[in-house]
Structure 1
Amino acid sequence: MTVDYDPRDPQIRNNPFPSFRRLQDEDPVHWNPHLRAWVITRYADVRKVALNRRMSPDRLTPFYDSLPEARRGVVGELIRYLNLWMVFRDPPEHTRLRRLMNEAFTPRAVERLRPNVERIVGRLLDDLLPRGEMDLVRDFAYPLPATVIMDMLGVPHDQLDRFKDWSDDMALFLGSARDVPDKYERARRGALEMSSYFREVIADRRRRPGEDVLSALIAAGTPDERLTGDELIAAAMLFLFAGHETTTNLISNGIYSMRMHADAWARLVADPSPGLLATAVEECLRYDGPSGGIARVVRVTHEMEGRELKEGDRVFAMLNAANRDPRVFEAPDDFIIDRSPNRHLTFGQGIHFCLGAPLARLEAEIACREIARRIPDLTLGTTAPDWHDSLIMRGITSLPVHFRPGKSVAA
């Protein structure tokens, strides 16, 4: 019997895991008529897709080529910059771009950011605690990573709301939203406004270099391999978008998951030690992490699990399904705060492994530690949250919480 997996169904969007389990058991390489694409759900197969050189991350070129002329005019400028994002490139372009951008996100470079992340978390909680309530997504999980990235790029904090609007508009396209009729127009507007802003910032950094990531990117590499003007703009856009989107979802999804599992939250409140924090964050990444899936386009016709994947076919390899595969994880639907080993695929595999993974982990560990320490009585609202309309990203749209007002329960 064919499994009817319709990601447009709000019930499936909010809780896709029962459908994923049926697909894993009955149709692991599933042709989906709603998406007109393959949906891959088993851990081993998802990992194969991530490492498969017969598939390409460049889903933009075939998408653009398939559009009618009128629609191309709407998305042309958007595609122009997104095509320069290394996440959509194959080697050797990907290799060059990643090498030039890697220095900002090495574990050593990220560890130097710890004091600033600590300050930002403390300031946010100082402002929020007297209120006794907040929207965890809007008031904490978004401004934390966005502010960290803005500091890295050397842009002022008063641009926070503008960056949020631009990123939200671009996410409609990048996340493959299904139910937003004007998503291309909104994504184009967000990309144009963000690129225009960074064009001016980069011009200023060329005149007056600083200690920020943009200044370092301008000077990175030999004269023959340095980033072009458009590549610099695209890199800044990628850092801002990816640098906050993943961590926002990780923190909000993670806190929600732990509060839905009272034993896990109680353990973290009682013992916010580095060891337990590290495994807690890894389990947040696995259990209901910030990634939905990765998108690929078949470059060379080949078979997977007896199904023929033809050149040009689209493929969605669902990372969040793989992370609940009972073939790999014991009790996959349980949140086990000290789970070890925990070989989740949330940050990808191979050459496209998430460059910002060390920073996302650092921010999440500090955020979870301080929320557990300063707001141990954090309580979820009574309404189940809604989730973003996205196949690529997995995140809660809003998460109202309340707690006993006060400056600090640990003071």
Structure 2
Amino acid sequence: MKSGGEKGSRYKKVDYLIIGAGIMGLTIARELRRREPSASICVIEKETQIAMHASGRNSGVLHAGFYYSADSLKARFTRDGNRAMTRYCEENGLKINRCGKLIVAANEAELEGLEELKRRGDANGVELVWMDEEQVRSVDPNVSTFRKALYSPSTSSVDPVEVCQQLKWENSHNNVEFRFNTVYLKHQDNRATTNRGIIEYGYLVNAAGLYADKIAHRYGFGKKYTIIPFKGIYLKYAKNKTDVRTNVYPVPNLGNPFLGVHFTKTVDDSVKIGPTAIPALWRENYAGLQRFKLGEFVQIVYYEAKLLWKNAFHFRSLAFAELRKISKKNFIGLSLRMVKELDAGGFGSFLRPGIRAQLLNKETLELVQDFVLEGDSRSMHVLNAVSPAFTCSLPFAEYVADEIARQQAPAAVRPDRSNVKIYKRSVGT
């Protein structure tokens, strides 16, 4: 593509327009710049700076990639993303805490869950080490498990804001333009109208997170999906940084996308428990009536009521269990099951909440648990940057750039992917 100039302060012409300056928008911009050094790339963001939502409120854990079935995009991108993000932090002098992770069992029945995680880890090429109780004590003497546990040596923690700031600096240094306080409103043909003027683009990438589905619908994509927001809150252990030495997770219910309350070691060695996965009532329902939108409220409550009524994917029990975590006492109690001794009075306040954009299939009432990407020769839409999207972001950006290149290629020379199985891949031809 060839870039054009401006026709005034409220008009801009670019090769690539990216909506959203979270981890996905930042890494996709970086990958497009790497492939097309002379292309003009503009990232618009409705907030005043990068990573104001999920990316900046992320736990910071670089997951290893053993929770997910081997045929999923998540399995591949998490494994590769852990390695890529670790390298990125090392090469750029960013903080990283190589604290590892223990997955512990509470009883005999949960040992079967550990066995399944080990099978998935082996299938995905991810290192997991069996440990008996004595070996667990060598990693963290305060951790409690039934008979044995799994240890993930490649799980680590980073500062997500620091990573995003570095990506922003790198992009800006490589002539990627950022426009903040710029809200996408609508489009006609290849012109996007924003609150600060019109941007004409050769190709549009929608990485708008909580609003990705809304924008995709305007381009004719993702019509069977809607985003249901879940509020995630962590609670800091304020007493010290030493009572828990590693990430400690319970055996998850693999039927839903949430991993349960766990201990997280942050990049500075602090300890926190969480997160919740409380159904939110509007997309940016962080606190009180902040950013309340009536239309969102009505739509989201409608779908949440429908999920409760039909009890899809056991939503009823999930919702009530999550709502009970609003009680600090109950929340702390869930974490104490995984350790031998901890001062329940040593916890401080709840930390800044985040909102997880979880895609719902409106037809089947299922929460989509893998990445969903839809697009054509003019636009690409990241509909479901599902957790652990932060870990996955670098290889996922490569995947998005590959799909953009494929969609832009003449139909006669597009590679035949009819025999390639990619779970939940839904990119238009």
TM-score between the two structures when normalised by the length of structure 2? 0.25
Higher-RCO chain (CA-CA 8 Å, sequence separation at least 6): 1
TM-score between the two structures when normalised by the length of structure 1? 0.26
Greater strand proportion: 2
